């Protein structure tokens, strides 16, 4: 069994227990913050007919999938998306988020860029969900904002030849130490990233230390303070 296969096997063996432990609290929080049960369906790759039609209207072969976890990341993603729209006016963008507050901001961006941006809740990183979502989205590229890397999604994208970029990447020394304690398990996952665009020089060494390919890491500064936003397509 190869190191990547072993990493995914252990991750998928433990993931259901994590979901059972954290799931009830996450559902309660979803409802408290204005989310609905239909929103939870999106996390399983189940969308309303209206959402499916909106997805199908995006340009074929020119759709980027941008994922931003919460409000702060959506702010970064917004700057990035506006720059992508400016650079590639014929492209479509799927923006996924995790929290209800971030989702509302994403919906506002969709409404101001109808036909170009579609906002959805992020899917759970289960193998069958990852396969289903990638078949439906069929993105030309996946862009993750700041730190969240999903093993199954990255692995399935890698199998399909879909490049995955991590932008505005940050990694504290504490997080580096935590990842390095599981070095042989996490390194194969981070090694699948095609581009890691970090904020500072010191981040290059940290990402390389946890498995990212050195020739994939570049310093682009912080998109948060960039008046336009660095594009992974650049």
Distance, in Å, from the CA atom of 157 to the CA atom of 151, rounded to the nearest integer, reads: 10
- Tens of pLDDT, residues 114-150: 889 999 999 999 999 999 999 999 999 999 998 778 9
Q: What angle do CA 20, 137, 230 make, to 5 degrees?
A: 95
When pLDDT is averaged across residues 166-170 and rounded to a whole number, the result is: 91
Structure confidence at residue 147 (pLDDT): 73
Query: Is residue 205 flagged as an active site residue?
Result: no
The helices-and-strands tally (H runs, E runs) of the chain is 10, 7
| The two structure tokens encoding residue 222 | 């912080």
Higher pLDDT, 70 or 225: 70
Catalytic residue among 73, 83, 110, 146: 73
**Does 71 have pLDDT greater than 60?**
yes
Tokens for 27? 């559902």
Q: 37 to each of 118, 123, 138, how far by Cα in Å?
A: 19, 14, 25
Paired residues of 118 in beta bridges: 94
CB 223, CB 76: distance < 8 Å: yes
Residues 89 and 69: their CA atoms lie apart, in Å, by 25
The span from the CA of 16 to the CA of 126, in Å, is 9
Residue 65 in this model has a pLDDT that exceeds 90: yes
At residue 222, the pLDDT reads: 80
Band of residue 59 on the pLDDT scale cut at 50, 70, 90: confident
The edge-to-edge listing of strands for the beta sheet with 92-97 is: 117-121, 92-97, 63-67, 141-145, 164-169, 195-198, 217-219
Q: Is 96 exposed, middle or buried (0-12, 13-18, 19+ CB in 10 A)?
A: buried
How much is the pLDDT for 225?
A: 55
Calculate helix-pair angle for 173-180, 183-190, nearest 10 degrees: 110
As a whole number of angstroms, the distance between CA 63 and CA 40 comes to 24
Give the model's confidence band at 27: pLDDT under 50 very low, under 70 low, under 90 confident, else very high.
low
Q: Is pLDDT above 90 for 192?
A: yes
Residue 114, φ and ψ in degrees, nearest 5: -60, 140
Predicted local distance difference test score (pLDDT) of residue 117: 95
Q: How confident is the model at residue 2 (pLDDT cuts 50, 70, 90)?
A: confident
With a pLDDT cut of 90, the percent of the chain lying above it is 52
Paired strand residues for 117: 93
Q: Mean pLDDT for the chain?
A: 87
Question: In whole angstroms, how far apart are CA 29 and each of 37, 116, 122, 220, 222?
Answer: 12, 30, 15, 35, 30
């Amino acid at each position: 069994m190869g190191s990547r296969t072993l990493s995914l096997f252990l991750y998928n063996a433990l993931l259901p227990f994590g979901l059972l432990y954290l799931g009830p609290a996450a559902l309660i929080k979803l409802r408290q913050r204005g989310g609905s049960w239909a929103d939870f369906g999106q996390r399983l790759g189940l969308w309303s007919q209206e959402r499916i039609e909106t997805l199908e209207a995006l340009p074929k072969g020119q759709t980027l999938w941008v994922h931003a976890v919460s409000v702060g990341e959506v702010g970064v993603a917004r700057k990035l998306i506006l720059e992508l729209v400016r650079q590639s006016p014929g492209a479509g963008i799927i923006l996924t988020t995790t929290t209800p507050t971030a989702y509302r901001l994403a919906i506002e961006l969709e409404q101001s860029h109808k036909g170009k941006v579609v906002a959805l809740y992020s899917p759970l990183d289960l193998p069958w969900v990852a396969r289903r979502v990638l078949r439906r989205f069929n993105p030309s590229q996946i862009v993750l904002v700041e730190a969240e890397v999903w093993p199954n999604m990255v692995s399935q994208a890698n199998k399909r030849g879909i490049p995955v970029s991590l932008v505005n990447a940050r990694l504290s020394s504490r997080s580096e130490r935590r990842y390095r304690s599981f070095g042989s398990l996490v390194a194969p996952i981070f090694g699948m990233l095609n581009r890691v665009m970090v904020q500072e020089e010191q981040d290059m060494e940290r990402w390389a230390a946890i498995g990212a390919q050195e020739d994939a890491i570049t310093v682009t500064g912080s998109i948060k303070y960039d008046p336009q936003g660095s594009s992974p397509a650049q």
